[in-house]
Structure formats: C-alpha cells, structure tokens
Amino acid sequence: MNTTDTRQFDLHPVDQRRLATLCGPFDEHLKQIERRLNVKVGRRGHHFRVEGETEHVAAATEVIRHLYRETEASDDIKPDTVHLFIRETGYERLPDDLPFDGSQTVIKTPKLQARPRGANQQKYVHSIRTHDINFGIGPAGTGKTWLAVACAVEALKDEQVKRILLVRPAVEAGEKLGFLPGDLAQKVDPYLRPLYDALYEMLGFDQVTRLIEKSVIEIAPLAFMRGRTLNNSFIILDESQNTTREQMKMFLTRIGFGSTAVITGDTTQVDLPRGQNSGLIHAAGVLSKVSGIGFTRFESKDVVRHPLVQRIVEAYDAFDDGSSTSR
C-alpha cells in the first residue's frame, strides 16, 4: 500500500541566483519534477516543501538537491539535465497513470472559454492535458484541431510552454503546390488557414500578428521540422493523414522536454500519391499500446458542425463499408 509523505527542507548556502537557476524560467524545472515524479513542490525562498508518495517525495528531494549542487558551477540548467536526474531515481511516472474521471472541463483563452461537447471531446482535452503526445483521429467537424489550438493557447497563457508551433504537411487534396506563387512557406500558407482562424478567434488578430512576429507562434510546413528539437513548446500537426511513414517518425522524434504534441487527422481523407502509406495510419498501429501516448478516436456522432455534415460522414462510411463487403 502506498503511503503519502510531506518533506520540508532548506537549501544552503542561500543564493538567489542559484535558486533561480534551479527552478528554471517560470519554474519549469520544478514543474517537470512534479509531472514526472507525481509530487507537489512548493517553494518560499530557499525553503522547499514536497508532498506525495513517500518514495517519490524522497526521489524529488534528492533531484532538487542534486540540481542545486549543479548550479554552483553552472548558470544554466537544461531540461534534459533535469530529465536525466529524474530518470536515475527509478520513480519516473508516465502520464497515463491519470485516468479520465468524466468531469466537465473548460479551456480558458483570452477571447473565449471553450467547452468541449460530449464525452469524447472531454476525454480528448483530458488526454492533451495529461499526455506529452496525443493523437486525435476522426472525421471533419469533430473539433480535433480547434480544441487542440484552444489547449495550446491556454498553455501559452498559463506559461506552461514558451511557444506554439502549428504544422501541416504540404499535401492537400491532390493540388500541385508548384503552381502557387512564393517560397515553400508561402505556398503552404493557404492550407494553414484553419489554424490561423482558430488563433484569431481565441487571441484576436493583432495579438496573433505580434506573437508571430516574435516567433512565439510559428506556423510552418512539416518539411521545416527536420533536424530540430522542440523544447517547451506546444506542437500541433494537423492533417497528419497526409504524412508519409518517414515524415511521421521524423516529426514524433522532434519532441523535446517540456513539450506537448497533438497529431490530428482523418484516415478516410488521405491525399498522398497512390502507393504511399499514410504515416498516421501506420503510427496508430505501431504506437497504440505505447505507454504515455494518448489516442482519441472520433466518430460521426461527434461532429459539431451543421447537422448535414454528420449525415454526409455517415453516408460515406456506409458506402465505403458496402464497397469493401462487395469485393
């Protein structure tokens, strides 16, 4: 039986610079310890209080002391250093230890409060808040992208992340990007319009423009992600059914410390050239049982657009089922 414990301790010598380095920007290092060791960490000056299961409290206390010793020789503690100390304790917790309890939730953004509709959308938002990598798979109109953007804006507002990245593959309904003017970013820009619209609705046009200019919000084609490591970011890969297997693996391995990734897509609307397999469909099979990754599957009953959209989705599903049966 697990027992709970509270441990209080002071760090010496008292040095405000070292304490700030230990905690990280916006206390991100302490938050990482809380998430990964399932504890609560409170601090007032050099006095710390750690609450949780006894073994986890002991592990978190040791990690904090280790990190403080590191600050003696370094003015900058990286998230990967915190991660390594946590992993060495042997008590690291994965996010799916937090089951969905069915409670209603509200996503708070500067311009509006988003209320997920129905049990599936509620589970989706819970999964995004408790998992580092999430898949939202289902037909158009189920709120996959809109809710992901709302969660990203909320995380940025609450200083849980430093930036938002909105990403889409440069494949769309068989269109040839070469006929569009501009460089690759400009060519793909029209296909990112749904993401812009969601941001404008939640932050306002002027604020979105300012954040894009400061690179706090980055909107880019998937090709621009290669070679990057994305720390302290909220990343949304939209229309991911149009990624190849190689592109999906590349994207998923970009995820760094303190980041959340949401991958959305509709496996019935793959626009890849004939013979290429969808990275989303492949990933759903490969990763479905990997601990720490959340999957939410939407159906036609989850459509929140015009009632006819739900009927259209159901009609296509029925036709496709009939076609596959008759073969």
User: What's the pLDDT at 150?
Assistant: 95
Residue pLDDT, tens place only, 108-119: 999 988 888 888
Task: Give the chain's domains with CATH numbers.
Answer: 4-93 (3.30.1370.10), 101-326 (3.40.50.300)
> Does the predicted TM-score (pTM) go above 0.85?
no
Residue of higher predicted confidence among 187 and 124: 124
Q: What is the pLDDT of residue 263?
A: 96
Residue spans of beta strands (DSSP E) within 185-320: 217-221, 233-237, 260-265, 293-297
pLDDT in tens, 207-249: 999 999 999 999 888 888 887 878 889 999 999 999 999 999 9
| Residue 76 CA from chain centroid, whole number | 25
pLDDT of residue 10: 95
DSSP string, 11-56: -SS--HHHHHHHH-GGGHHHHHHHHHHT-EEEEETTEEEEEEEHHH
pLDDT digits (tens, 9 = 90+) for 248-279: 999 999 888 788 999 999 998 888 888 889 99
Residue 173's pLDDT band (cuts 50, 70, 90): very low
Whole-angstrom Cα distance, residue 38 to residue 26?
Answer: 19
Q: Provide the pLDDT for residue 189.
A: 63
Q: Which tokens go with 127?
A: 């999964």
Are β-strands 4-10 and 47-53 bridged in parallel, bridged antiparallel, or unpaired? antiparallel
Buried b or exposed e, range 104-125, using 16+ CB within 10 angstroms? eeebebeeeebebeeebbbbbb
* Mean pLDDT for the chain overall: 85
> Residue 223 has what pLDDT?
80
Helix (H) or strand (E) holding 164: strand 163-168
Tens digit of each residue's pLDDT (9 = 90 or more) over 281-306: 999 999 988 888 999 999 878 877 66
pLDDT value, residue 299: 87
327 by Cβ neighbours in 10 Å (0-12 / 13-18 / 19+) ranks as exposed
